[in-house]
């Protein structure tokens, strides 16, 4: 396990509000999820807390396992 962040500036087209809502929803329901993320060489501290930046979140279903 490791920590992820959401890029506050959304420079790669991610929808920050939607990502936050989905994270909360999946935490509440305890569903297993797949996280798509980027790991840039450098992240400014005011943009994110880690180098692993979430791009997308989706639940894992039988079909996409």
pLDDT of residue 26: 92
Name 58's Cβ contacts closer than 8 Å, sequence gap at least 6: 33, 34, 36, 64
Domain interval for residue 22: 1-65
Per-residue model confidence as pLDDT tens digits over 17-54: 898 999 999 999 999 999 998 888 877 777 787 888 88
Q: Residues 32, 59: contact at Cβ < 8 Å?
A: yes
64, with CB counted inside 10 A (0-12, 13-18, 19+), is exposed
pTM score: 0.70
Whether the per-residue pLDDT at 61 is higher than 80: the answer is no
> How many domains does the chain contain in total?
1
pLDDT of residue 63: 58
Q: Between residues 8 and 65, which one has the greater pLDDT?
A: 8
Confidence of residue 62 (pLDDT cuts 50, 70, 90): low
Task: Report the relative pairing of strands 33-38 and 53-59 from DSSP bridges.
Answer: antiparallel
């Amino acid at each position: 396990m490791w920590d992820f962040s959401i890029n506050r500036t959304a420079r790669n087209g991610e929808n920050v509000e939607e990502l936050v809502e989905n994270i909360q929803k999946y935490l509440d329901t305890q569903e297993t999820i797949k996280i798509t993320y980027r790991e840039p060489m450098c992240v400014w501290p005011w943009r994110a807390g880690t180098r692993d930046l979430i791009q997308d979140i989706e639940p894992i279903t039988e079909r996409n396992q």
